[in-house]
Chain A
Amino acid sequence: MSSNATPSSKPVKSVDLHVGDAAPGCKKNDPILIADGVRRTFGGLTAVDVDHVEIPRGAITALIGPNGAGKTTFFNLLTGFDKPDAGSWTFDGTSLAHVPAYRVARMGLIRTFQLTKSLALLSVMDNMKLGATGQTGENMFRALLPVLWRKQDQEIEARAVELLTRFKLDAKRNDYAASLSGGQRKLLEMARALMSEPTLVMLDEPMAGVNPALTQSLLDHILGLKEQGMTVLFVEHDMHMVRHIADWVIVMAEGRVVAEGDPHTVMQNPAVIDAYLGQHHDSDLGSSDADNVEAMKELLDDDK
């Protein structure tokens, strides 16, 4: 299964990311994203209530937690797709509170979605080209004069071909994105996000629904982002993937950050075991709890 896939080469882990003890909300040496007091409630339910969290620059950070922990909501808040009730957060020193999603993206913080959003009836190449920012021809009046944008469009196309080749989608460039498989769409979405040359890439469950044959290359691609100097923050349920590629792990449960640390020590934390196993200890184990048990076993096995 997908969880047995490993990157083709042993990843180089980033170390010494934090200052002091690896506690929830601990300071990082060089944070790229800092969130303070971010809270989002839906009626009586507090989906996200994060006091303080810092994302280290140039590393791969995993955001994990049981179902319903508020990971995707936190993602939406950070990227401007949802508005928090309170809180502030900065990206590279710039405050992002009340900044609309498209401006956040232009600053270099690009996200992907849990349910892949490939633009079905656009060709793969058009999907890619749409990812490039600062296009002259995207202004309605300049669009009428191809002289103004053709050269830039060709440069964008060349960059798109390069990325598609890297993601092994170049043979599909003229097909509709709708004709791609689920895994290929994940790859396309990631490649499209890279067209804007982001500094922070946020991937929401990049492995969900991906065929095992593709997980391998997805892992390599994520490691490749780090090699190119990008910061990666991803949400994932696949613990093997977290263990293999993450430099830092942030654990959320019931909207809060309950633990932080490197992937091997964070799992020893009683708060994490509580988050995954303890929250419904007096009720029947439903299927999602069984999944969590499975996830914990995998993690503990790894440290043997």
Chain B
Amino acid sequence: MIDWGQVFSNAAVELISPTTAAYALAALGLAIHFGYTGLLNFGQAGFMALGAYGYAISILTFGFPVWGAVLVGIGASVIFALILGVPTLRLRADYLAIVTIAAAEIVRLLFTTNTFVAVTGSANGLSEYKDGFRALNPLHFEGTAGFGPWQHSADDWWVIIVSWTVVALACLFTWSLMRSPWGRVLKGIREDEDAVRALGKNVYSYKMQSLILGGVFGTLAGMIFIMPRAVIPAHYATSLTFFIYAILLLGGAATILGPVVGSMLFWVLLSFFSGFVARAVEVGWLPISQVQGGQLRFILVGVAIMLIVIFRPQGLLGNKKELAFVK
């Protein structure tokens, strides 16, 4: 028989996992780009890769402290946003999408190539960069602690606390910006940038600010993402950007908490289906192999997302009224 308790508790673990927080933060960055400013950035994986590698390389190759490594990552993503934005933000939205997707791939391939293997670790990636972060941990206990299904070691709790604190601060920051006149200009640009230009706003500068801010959120997400795992270049393929878009649309594109709720739902569903399929294969309910089962969970998540998008197209937290006017 299937151990349903185990399936559900494994799914519940994902609710507050650092990976969920990382995806939520990256999706919040996309909400700024796409939801509020209308910039079709398909290169969020590139910003995340810069955060991950910026942090890991600073520590491993240059021996920077944690705060220095974080600043290097942020600096790298600001420069990346400027390089990306200067030629492309004057283009129409769909051209920006093509350029960003290519730029993110260039970043990933640069980290994969053997030429820089001493620094980037090539396809094997990087590890052993976590000591500095762990040394900051004020929690000290042996074994695991927690409540219900959430039983973690002191180091894991430290990652969870820091990552969700960053997500909460980012949400607060975005919320206070979006209710301000600055946010009003961004939303105006999303609707019609020529109209906003005719009202005396420097549209190009606002788009650049939006690209940098959302990119920095993606970079911070990249740093959170590597805390429970190693830095592997294959993680930063285009599919990562698409998962983050799925999360954003699931939660609601122009919302603050939508990305958080979307990310939680996405990971809980993924973990639930993965546990369910694996056990269903074990007990012989499904006539497929374990490997096939691993693919099936993405199919099931895809179906779940399709159902939500079809029956609740504004996303879980989106405003239904907005859809009344979408052509």
Contact = CB atoms under 8 A, between A and B. Distances in A.
Interface of A: 79, 81, 100-103, 105-106, 110-113, 117-122, 126-127, 129-131, 133, 135-140, 143-144, 146, 149, 153, 176, 178-179, 189, 192-193, 195-196
A219 to B, nearest CB: 23
Q: Which among B183, B191, B198 has the highest number of chain A CB atoms within 10 Å? A: B198
B114 interface: no
B191 A146 contact: no
Interface string B173-196: 100110011111101101110111
A119 B183 contact: no
B199 interface: yes
Interface of B: 173, 176-177, 180-185, 187-188, 190-192, 194-203, 209, 213, 321-322, 324-325
Given A119-B191, A126-B187, A140-B209, A131 B181 contact: no
Contacts of A146: 176, 180
7 contacts: A111-B198, A113-B198, A117-B194, A131-B199, A138-B181, A138-B184, A153-B181
A137 B177 CA distance: 9
Contacts of B187: 119, 121-122, 126
Given A100-B202, A119-B187, A143-B176, 18 more contacts: A81-B194, A102-B199, A105-B197, A113-B195, A117-B195, A120-B192, A121-B190, A122-B191, A129-B184, A133-B199, A136-B181, A137-B180, A144-B176, A144-B180, A149-B180, A176-B321, A179-B324, A195-B199
Contact of A133 (B188, B200, B321): B200
A119 B202 contact: no
B177 A140 contact: yes
A174 B149 CA distance: 46
Given A105-B197, A140-B209, A144-B177, A130 B184 contact: yes
Contacts of A113: 194-195, 198
Nearest to B185: A138
A105 B180 contact: no
A122 B184 contact: yes
Contacts of B195: 113, 117-119, 189
Contacts of B183: 143
B200 A106 contact: yes
Contacts of A176: 321-322, 325
Contacts of B197: 81, 101-102, 105
A257 to B, nearest CB: 24
9 A-B pairs with the lowest CB-CB distances in the bound complex, closest first: A137-B181, A178-B325, A143-B180, A105-B200, A117-B195, A143-B182, A119-B191, A106-B200, A138-B181
Nearest to A129: B184
Contacts of A112: 198
A195 B198 CA distance: 12
A102 B184 contact: no
Contacts of B203: 102
Decide if the interface of chain B is mainly helix, strand, loop or mixed.
Answer: helix
B217 to A, nearest CB: 14
Contact of A179 (B184, B191, B199, B325): B325
B181 to A, nearest CB: 4
A121 B320 CA distance: 12
Given A130-B199, A196-B199, A120 B321 contact: no
A139 B201 CA distance: 11
Contacts of A102: 197, 199-203
Contacts of A135: 181
B209 A126 contact: no
Contacts of A195: 199
Contacts of A193: 198-199
B325 A120 contact: yes
Given A110-B199, A144-B177, A117 B321 contact: no
Contacts of B199: 102, 105, 110, 130-131, 133, 192-193, 195-196
Nearest to B322: A121
B2 to A, nearest CB: 46
Nearest to A136: B181
B194 A144 contact: no
Contacts of B194: 81, 113, 117
A139 B322 CA distance: 27
Contacts of B321: 176
Nearest to B193: A117
A28 B301 CA distance: 71
A130 B185 contact: yes
Contacts of A133: 199-200
B198 A110 contact: yes
A119 B324 CA distance: 15
A64 B173 CA distance: 50
B191 A129 contact: no
A138 B202 CA distance: 11
B202 to A, nearest CB: 5
A129 B180 CA distance: 11
A127 B199 CA distance: 10
Contacts of B209: 140
A138 B186 CA distance: 10
B124 to A, nearest CB: 40
A136 B176 CA distance: 15
A139 B187 CA distance: 15
Contacts of A111: 198
B242 to A, nearest CB: 25
A126 B178 CA distance: 12
